[in-house]
Structure 1
Amino acid sequence: MKIARFRTRNGDVQVGKIVGNTAYELTEYCAQVDCLGKLVAADVTIFDRLNAVPLKGLTQYDLDDIQLLAPVTSPSKFLAIGLNYESHAEESRRIGVQPAQSQIWFNKQVSCIVGPDEYIDRPPVVEQLDYEAELGLMICRRGRNIRPEDALDYVAGYMIVNDVSARDWQKRSPTWTLGKSFDTHGPIGPWLVTPEEVGDPQDLAITLKVNGELRQQANTAQMIHDIRAQISYLSEVMTLMPGDIIATGTPAGVGVAMEPPQFLDEGDIVTIDIERIGQLSNTVRTNLFSGAGK
């Protein structure tokens, strides 16, 4: 099932199931509509129950007539792994970034989240704005010390993440957090796709284009640390909570590693496609002030 949050033409925010080019409204079956993470936190079986609702009789919307919103808005954590494709690790070595032997994790502050078609801001203090196409996932239930063989049982669904990075700010801090957390630098969406529809998450084609030019192309099979290993590793340190977002790494092709480097600027359109997930597109704007939105 593809489950989305969206705004209708009259301004109402709804939760719905996406089938083809149609959104079927399911809001009456949901306790909350502001964050899909809150739905699974209240009831881990909610997506199964929503999927079982007959489509006949539900209010329908054409996708062209609604605004898709970020499916998750208030996770307790937004975690991302660095240098998790060998191709990206290799291009990073060429520019002086040495990978560690263990998994490399950093925070993206949750205030960076925006949805499909919302702007990515390039504030004046950022000179090196970059993109990173990633498969993202949302945790469905509380877990600590999770065994790798059990890890996928903790996944509510998958989405696309653009780990937008202010490279100049990233270099200033060993933790990378500031360079990864500017407002609007966490586009996610376009919806959440439940595991039974995705199938094997380690066999998904992923591409990123800037203004139609192909920059990144890979398959999630090429991850160094697979999703099971990532979830298990994180849970050795912290309790994973329903709604938490994990971004699973980006392949080669980032702007900072190009010769010469190619950073994002006003009007650039960044489009990510992941097989069996969908497409996420966002436009860059130069913003003299902080804050998100269209």
Structure 2
Amino acid sequence: MKLITFRHADGSRVGALAGDRVIDLHDAAGGRDMNGLIDDWPRLAGEIGAAVREARTTLPLADTKLLAPLPQPRRNVWCVGKNYHDHAREFAGSGFDSSAAQGAVPTVPIVFSKPPGAVSGPGDAIDSSLDPMASVDYEAELAVVIGKAGRVSASDDPMSFVFGYTLVNDVTSRGLQKQHSQWLLGKGIDGFCPMGPTLVTADEVHDVGSLTIACEVNGERRQHASLADLIFDIPTLIRTIGRSISLVPGDIIATGTPAGVGLGFDPPRYLRAGDSVCVMLEPVGVLENPVI
């Protein structure tokens, strides 16, 4: 199921996307937002499924405004740095890498976060003026959305914690990232975490490693990689984060970006006002954002 959060005439509500039609799930979800829907999914899944199958009235997607599937995350977005081999080498050689002590390819996952205020939705503008160093970069990433609370024990199957998958663009001020020798200030800027367009439930994705992620800037392909190329796979990331930190439903884990970021070109090819950047992965869809 492709779940969405959308704005219509009377406010924000959850729904499902079927082609170019939106199924309004507000009543079936009891008025819950996406966080609440994930919380109560074991009890609501049957009713939600029936509402999707039996939908008689739908809305044209063009008449709605898609928001981030989780427009107000409860906590910071968990992020993973240098998690594709080619990008790890690309970044290690850039002079911007404060984690270089681990070597070009990390031996353990590098985890940082983006605050909830960084989250924006499909079509929302990336404000390049918020980067005082004119060094705005893009990073296409698959994001895992957690559906079960608790710490991940040695006997747990980490994938049992997965509710579904979405996309994020881990937009970054490379200048701030380098200046402060850490990643939060360069990556946590307002609106620097576009997310969406859909949240695909885990039952729809049978083999994450078979998926391919891509990014285009102004129609030019910049990034393209298989999720099978992750250095640390999704179970490893969930276990690493959840071993000592209790996960909560609605937690978001961005799994890292492949090679081809703007920093990797000589000279760097950063985003500028007037650009359009698209992150793509089926079955999640296309996440497109203009730069202003």
Q: TM-score, normalised by structure 1?
A: 0.91
Look up the match of 1:178: 185
In structure 1, give the amino acid aligned to 2:38: V
Aligned to 1:86: 85
Counterpart CA distance in 2 for 1:164 and 1:26 is: 31
Deviations 1:103-142 (A, max 9, x none): 1000101110001101111125242000000001111111
The aligned counterpart of 2:244 is 237
- Which segments of 5 or more consecutive residues in structure 1 lack a partner in the other structure? 286-294
| In the alignment, structure 1 residue 150 sits paired with structure 2 residue 157 | yes
Among 92, 105, 112, the residue aligned to 2:111: 105
Give the gaps of 5 or more residues in structure 2. none
Q: Deviation digits for residues 142-179 of structure 1, max 9, x if unmatched? A: 12034486111111110011000111111123331111
Deviation at 1:203? 1.7
User: Is the aligned partner of 1:270 residue 2:277?
Assistant: yes
Change (3 A) 1:50 1:5: same
CA distance in 2, matches of 1:48, 1:134: 30
* Residue 16 of structure 1: aligned partner: 15
- Partner of 1:234, secondary structure, is helix
When the two chains are superposed, the root-mean-square deviation of aligned CA atoms in Å is 1.7
**Residues 35-46 of structure 1: pairs in structure 2 closer than 5 A:** 36-46=34-44
Question: 8 Å contact 1:141–1:240 — kept in the other structure?
Answer: yes
Q: Which residue of 2 aligns with 1:252?
A: 259
Q: 2:122 aligns with which of 110, 116, 120?
A: 116
Query: Deviation above 4 Å: which 4+ runs of structure 1?
Result: none
1:63 aligns to 2:61 (yes or no): yes
Query: In the aligned structure 2, how far is the partner of 1:56 from the partner of 1:43?
Result: 19
Is the 1:112–1:185 Cα contact (8 Å) retained in structure 2?
Answer: yes
Asked if the contact 1:117/1:282 (under 8 Å) is kept, the reply is: yes
Shift of 1:95: 1.3
Deviates further, 43-52 or 205-214 = 43-52
Q: CA–CA distance in 1 between the matches of 2:189 and 2:37? A: 27
Equivalent residue pairs, number: 283
Distance 2:166 2:45 in 1: 15
| SS of equivalent to 1:118 | coil
* TM-score of the aligned structures, taking structure 2 as reference length: 0.92
The question of 1:280 aligning with 2:287 is answered yes
Q: Which amino acid aligns with 1:134?
A: E
How far apart are residue 58 of structure 1 and its match?
Answer: 4.0
Identity of aligned pairs, percent?
37
- Name the CA distance, whole Å, in 1 between partners of 2:43 and 2:87: 37
Q: Deviations over 1:186-215 (max 9, x none)?
A: 100001000111221122111100000010
The corresponding residue for 1:2 is 2
Aligned equivalent of 1:163: 170
Contact map agreement 2:13 2:31 (CA 8 A) in 1? no
Counterparts of 2:91 and 2:52, CA distance in 1:
49
Aligned equivalents of 1:226, 1:106: Cα separation in 2: 17
Following superposition, the deviation at residue 31 of structure 1 comes to 3.3
